[in-house]
Structures are given as C-alpha cells and as structure tokens.
Chain A
Amino acid sequence: EVQLVESGGGLVQPGGSLRLSCAASGFTFSNYWMSWVRQAPGKGLEWVANIKQDGSEKYYVDSVKGRFTISRDNAKNSLYLQMNSLRAEDTAVYYCARVTYYYDSSGYGVDWFDPWGQGTLVTVSS
C-alpha cells in the first residue's frame, strides 16, 4: 500500500523555524517528484514546493521563496520541508503528496498529486 506519513508540525513563534518530514512507503520513492501542499484553517489548498527525483530541481510558490527549502533523502525514502522566518500566514496543515505523472513519446506530459499524506499542522503564533 502506498503511504505518506508527515511529522514535525507544532506551535512556533513568528520568525522561528520548523522542519517537516514525510516518510514514504509502498512505492519506489526515488522514481517520483514530490510536493508539499498546504491548507490554512478553513481555507483552500495551496501548492508550496516541488522537488525532482534526484533533488536537482526545486520549485516554490512565491510566498515562501527564500524562507522554505524542500529536500529529500532517497536512501531513507523521506521528504523534508525546512521552514524558516515563519509568519502567521504560514499557519496551515501541510500535506506531503506524490507527483504522479504520465508522459508519452510525443512529448506530451501531465502530472497530478496522488496520493496525499494525512497532514501535519503548523501553527505560527506568539
């Protein structure tokens, strides 16, 4: 069974740091891009960051650039999100998601998020 389990959330003061982890199992982790997606309380979903299979490419939503760093350890089947200079608006449930993809010989490619972990809550407050 494909499974993603996040950990590391908690209460942190504004300006503080936190490191989230996501343990993957049930699939070949090193074959997939991985993502972090967040959801503020009572709000919608927001993609946060992506990382390529070997960690050589990383992409971020503008609001976290320079503050958050996505990384992975394929030997440990784990994904991470280092969050620095946290702000109140970063308060959210953070989900780890596998980027499932389809590419064909014509150059067409598409990807989507499946599956998702259960999420870990990050609260930024004094």
Chain B
Amino acid sequence: GENVEQHPSTLSVQEGDSAVIKCTYSDSASNYFPWYKQELGKRPQLIIDIRSNVGEKKDQRIAVTLNKTAKHFSLHITETQPEDSAVYFCAASSGSSNTGKLIFGQGTTLQVKP
C-alpha cells in the first residue's frame, strides 16, 4: 500500500549547523511532496513543497530536493536557529487515487541547541 518512511525520528544539532531529514515514498504516481513544521501544541504549518517536475526548491534557509527515480526527497535546513526546533513531517500525494490525499511520514523531532 501507500507508505512514506521518514528518518531520523529525532535529530539534535547545534545552532548554526545544518539539518537534513529524509523521506522515501512507495507510490510511483505521487507528484506532490510538502513539508510541514509543527511546534508543540500548534497546528502543522506548510513550510515548503515540491512537485515532481522539479528537482530542487529553495526558500531562504530551507530547501527540498526530490529524486523521483529513487523515490526519495529531503528537507535541508541551513544555519539552524533555536526557533527551528519542532516536529517536521514530510508527505506525499496519493497519485493513484487522485483525491488530494496526502500520506504523511512519521515525523522528525528536531532540537536545535543554542
């Protein structure tokens, strides 16, 4: 069935370092890959997304890369700051169902130490 695997489950970095979170997906028809940031007790917020016709997208300190052949995509955060600490979720669209359905990864808890 449709599945998204996300690694690592926890990640601790020093302020100023880079952080990378990786996801793999199973549905070869998936064509949309968003990333969400969820702070403690808050809603998931869309921070960046990428579609299958693009290999990389960048927005200030965050970037996402997509390798369709290998069916994996990654989130890169540079110059991390304490306010980047949160749970990050990747997701992939369910391409086969064409219903707008997103399959979420299990989440990565990022801790940025000052």
- Real complex partners, A and B? no
